[in-house]
Amino acid sequence: MTSVNKPIVSISSSGECPRAMSARLLGREEVFDAQSKIRLERAAKEGTRWEAFVLQDLREEYGYTVIETPYCEPCGRDGHHVELDLGNCLAVGHIDGFAPPALIEVKTMSRFQFERWRKMGFDGFRRYAFQVSLYMLAMNSDAVYAVKNRDTGELNVQTLTETPFSMAEIVNYLSDALRAYNKGEIATCPQTEQYPCGFCYLNLETAPVERSVSPEVPTEVEIAQAIQTWRSGKAKEREGLELINGSKDVLLKYLDNSGQKSFKVDGVHVTQVQAGISRRMDTTKLKLFLGSAYSDYEVESVRAGYVKIEDELGGQ
């Protein structure tokens, strides 16, 4: 890496919130809860694995001549090391591969993020737009931009001949964070459309701004866990209903054979409800013929006998 007496900005995070960037430049440690840390580490590992699959797809299915990049020893990671002097800082990053004369940038997304990408493109992903723009400027080349849907395997590939953002736009955007950093301060939260939450995950030693009312989109892992939890809950619900109905059958049979109408055991009141005729108001046809002369009418049905159970501890 070139020795430059300038602040070093990671190309991959160049489009992040200025508040977070200034904190990062000042060396503030990132603070994550255990779940978020595990999720980010898993995402990074999965991203590396998927990157190899995407490069293979570009070679075999799209006909690109793909040159994979070597391991960067100084930085301890995969990718072709690039540096770009932006005047007020040095931008440093790593390129995923090359399809001469273009560079290759690979992204993998959940189906939710992928749909957002299909609808909004770089307008919805400022960090990705800044990142590929700086790579293209550093290498003075076009880019093959490949986005993989991890859930369906769908691959969206496009060739960029122009950078999503110009050098001037990027330098101007970075200026807020760099000015704050030069003063030894943390930039104010912009709360723009790109960063509406007003929340910074870094330990800024200040009271964090509350998140917006817009909830964070769950990850595919969280969705899968929710589905499994729901299935487990429904299975327990069915099991519980079977136990309850079996108990009620025993209690009803006892009341029928003993001639009692009710009894109490261990704080549980059991009362027999006799079979009979039940009546209810039917409004179905009223809804179907709203505005007509149709009116509600009573529907009779035969009600089977059952037991009513009340537990003094709160269960029913």
| CATH number of 134's domain | 3.90.320.10
Whether residue 234 sits in one domain with residue 108: no
Give the pLDDT score at 4. 60
Residue 12 lies in a domain: yes
Residue ending a domain, choose from 163, 194, 215: 215
Whether residue 207 sits in one domain with residue 121: yes
Give the pLDDT score at 106. 95
- Give every strand in the sheet of 268-273, ordered side by side: 262-265, 268-273, 306-311
- Supply the pTM of this predicted model: 0.61
Give the pLDDT score at 314. 56
Give the pLDDT score at 40. 67
Give the pLDDT score at 255. 84
Whether residue 199 sits in one domain with residue 280: no
Whether residue 239 sits in one domain with residue 169: no
Residue 2 lies in a domain: no
Residue 3 lies in a domain: no
Whether residue 143 sits in one domain with residue 44: yes
Residue 295 lies in a domain: yes
Whether residue 198 sits in one domain with residue 61: yes
Whether residue 248 sits in one domain with residue 161: no
Residue 86 lies in a domain: yes
The tokens for 296 are 């509600």
pLDDT means per 10 residues, the chain with 316 residues, are 76 89 82 65 71 91 91 84 93 94 94 91 92 97 95 93 96 93 86 59 50 53 72 81 86 85 83 71 51 53 73 63
Q: How many domains does the chain have?
A: 2
For 213, other C-beta atoms within 10 Å of its C-beta total 7
Give the pLDDT score at 286. 46
Whether residue 197 sits in one domain with residue 161: yes
Residue ending a domain, choose from 199, 215, 231: 215
The whole-angstrom separation of Cα 201 and Cα 208 is 9
For 68, other C-beta atoms within 10 Å of its C-beta total 16
Residue ending a domain, choose from 215, 240, 264: 215
Angle separating helix axes 167-182 and 126-139, nearest 10 degrees: 110
Give the pLDDT score at 214. 45
Residue 84 lies in a domain: yes
Domain extent for 239: 223-311
Q: Are the CB atoms for 141 and 101 separated by under 8 Å?
A: yes
Whether residue 99 sits in one domain with residue 124: yes
Give the pLDDT score at 244. 85
Whether residue 264 sits in one domain with residue 305: yes
Q: Are the CB atoms for 143 and 159 separated by under 8 Å?
A: yes
Give the pLDDT score at 32. 58
- Pairing mode, if any, of strands 143-149 and 102-109? parallel
Residue 316 lies in a domain: no
Whether residue 132 sits in one domain with residue 66: yes
Whether residue 204 sits in one domain with residue 235: no
Residue 252 lies in a domain: yes
